[in-house]
Structures are given as structure tokens and as C-alpha cells.
Amino acid sequence: MTIDDLVSDAASRQFVSAVVPVEVMESPRIVDLWVDALDGEEVIVSVRDGSADVRIVIGGYVFDSVPVSSSLDLIGAVFARDISVRRVLGGRFLEMTVQTSEGAFSSSRRFRKDLSSWESDVLS
């Protein structure tokens, strides 16, 4: 899937209000896709042309090496709150887990008493 294909596919999803591609590098072509949800939440998808994987950044969580084929499913699950967030390492970190058809993806971030409203909604 090319970067342009990913942009088109993302823009056609029901949960997306806008997709803004930002060219980061020309050769190899690397693009950051700023994906806005209908509720105003924002996700950054970094993709290198020809790569099978992307990096997804969501509110302090970084998901590295997500297959392109799972990237929009992962984002859709986050926007739909079909995720789990839990405290780990004595409560100093939060871990988000997202299940897609290709498996589970997890990422953690430092917890500084800064829960977002969506994290509060799904915190287990």
C-alpha cells in the first residue's frame, strides 16, 4: 500500500474527520499523517513509502512497527474506545492495549496524574 493509498483509505473511514499529510523527507519519502477523529482527537501516523510498518502516536503512547494493514483498525479501535488502559509499574506508567485482527499492540507512557478523559473512561 502506498502512502497515497493509506491517505485515501483513512479519509474514507467513518471515524475520521480529516487527514492531513505532512511531508517529512523526500528521499526516502516519509510522511506524517495527522488523522483527526470526529470528536477532535488527533493521531499521528508516520509512514515511509514502501514500508510494511508504520509508527502511530496517540496521546503520548507510541506504537512502533504496526503493520500498515492494521494501522487504521488500531486507530479506529482507539477512537471507538475499544481498548484497555491500566496502571503498571506501581502506577508510574499507563499501558494501553489495542486488539486488531492481526494481534494485540501495547504501548506505555509515564503517568504524571494527567489522565485524559478518554483514558479515564477505559482505565481498568
- The CA distance from 30 to 111, in Å, is 30
- The CA distance from 2 to 48, in Å, is 9
- The CA distance from 11 to 14, in Å, is 8
User: At residue 30, does pLDDT exceed 90?
Assistant: yes
3-state secondary structure of 113: coil
Taking only the tens place, the pLDDT of each residue in 57-92 is 998 999 999 999 999 999 999 988 899 999 888 878
User: At residue 26, does pLDDT exceed 90?
Assistant: yes
Q: Is the pTM for the entire model greater than 0.85?
A: yes
Name residue 36's amino acid.
D
